[in-house]
A and B are shown apart, each in its own frame.
Chain A
Amino acid sequence: MNLFELILKQIRQRALSTVLTVFSITLGVALAISILVLQREGKNLFGQTEFGYEVIAGVKGSGLQLVTNTIYRIDRSPGNVPYSVYERMTTDPVFKPDVRFAIPQCVGDSYQGLPIVGTTPQYFGYNPDGTRAADGKRFEYRPGQSFEIVAPGKVLTENRFEAVVGCDVPKLGKLKLGNQFQATHGFPIPGMTPDVHDEKWTVVGVLAPTHTAADRCVYIGLTSFYTIFEHGEAEVQREQQRQAVGALPPATAPVEAHEVHDHDHEHEERHYDLTPDGTIVLHDEVLRAREVSAILIKTRGDGGGLNTLRLISNLNMINDVMGVNPATVMREFFANFLDAPIMLLLAIAVLVTVIAALGIMTTIYNSVSARMREIAILRALGATRVRILILISTEAALVGLLGGVIGFFIGHGLAGIGSVYMKQTFGQTIGWYRVADVELLFVAGVVVLSFIAGLVPALKAYRTPVSANLVAA
Chain B
Amino acid sequence: MALILEQLKKSYPAPDGSVVSVLDVERFEIADGEQVALLGGSGTGKTTLLHAIAGIVTPDSGHVAFQPGNVDVTALSEAARDVFRGKHIGYIFQTHHLLPGFTALENVLLGMSFTGRSPDRAWAKRLLVEVGLGNRLDYRPAKLSVGQQQRVAVARALANRPQLVLADEPTGALDPTTAQQVLDLIRQLCREVNASLILVTHDMSIAQQLSRVVRLDELNKRRQEIGDSRQE
Binding site for B on A (CB under 8 A): 1-2, 6, 9-10, 12-13, 373-374, 377-387, 466-467, 470-471, 473
Contact = CB atoms under 8 A, between A and B. Distances in A.
B101 A385 contact: no
Contact of A373 (B97, B115, B156): B97
B123 interface: no
Nearest to A3: B113
A1 B54 CA distance: 23
Contact of B110 (A379, A381, A386, A471): A381
Interface of B: 47-48, 51, 54, 56-57, 78-79, 82-83, 85-87, 91, 93, 95, 97, 99-102, 106, 109-115, 119, 156
A9 B47 contact: no
A2 B113 contact: yes
Contact of A377 (B51, B79, B82, B99): B99
Q: Which of A10, A377, A381, A383 has the most CB of B within 10 A?
A: A381
Given A381-B86, A382-B83, A384-B83, A470 B97 contact: yes
A3 to B, nearest CB: 8
Contacts of B54: 380
Contacts of B57: 467
B91 A9 contact: no
Nearest to B111: A381
Nearest to A374: B99
A381 B101 contact: no
Contacts, number: 71
A13 B101 contact: yes
Nearest to B86: A382
B95 A383 contact: no
Given A6-B110, A383-B113, A473-B95, 9 more contacts: A378-B114, A380-B85, A380-B97, A381-B91, A382-B115, A385-B79, A386-B79, A466-B56, A473-B97
Contact of B86 (A10, A373, A383): A383
Contacts of A383: 82, 86, 113-114
Contacts of B83: 382, 384
A13 B93 CA distance: 23
Nearest to B91: A380
B113 A470 contact: no
B113 A385 contact: no
Closest 8 CB pairs of A and B: A382-B86, A382-B114, A13-B101, A384-B82, A384-B79, A1-B109, A1-B113, A383-B114
Nearest to B83: A382
Contacts of A9: 101-102, 106
A9 B110 CA distance: 11
21 contacts: A9-B106, A13-B100, A373-B97, A374-B99, A377-B97, A379-B56, A379-B82, A380-B91, A381-B111, A381-B113, A382-B82, A382-B87, A382-B113, A383-B82, A383-B86, A384-B78, A384-B79, A466-B56, A467-B51, A470-B56, A470-B93
Contacts of B85: 380, 382
A374 B106 CA distance: 14
A301 B110 CA distance: 76
Contacts of A473: 95, 97
A380 B113 contact: no
Q: Which of A13, A374, A384 has the most CB of B within 10 A?
A: A384
A112 B156 CA distance: 76
B150 to A, nearest CB: 14
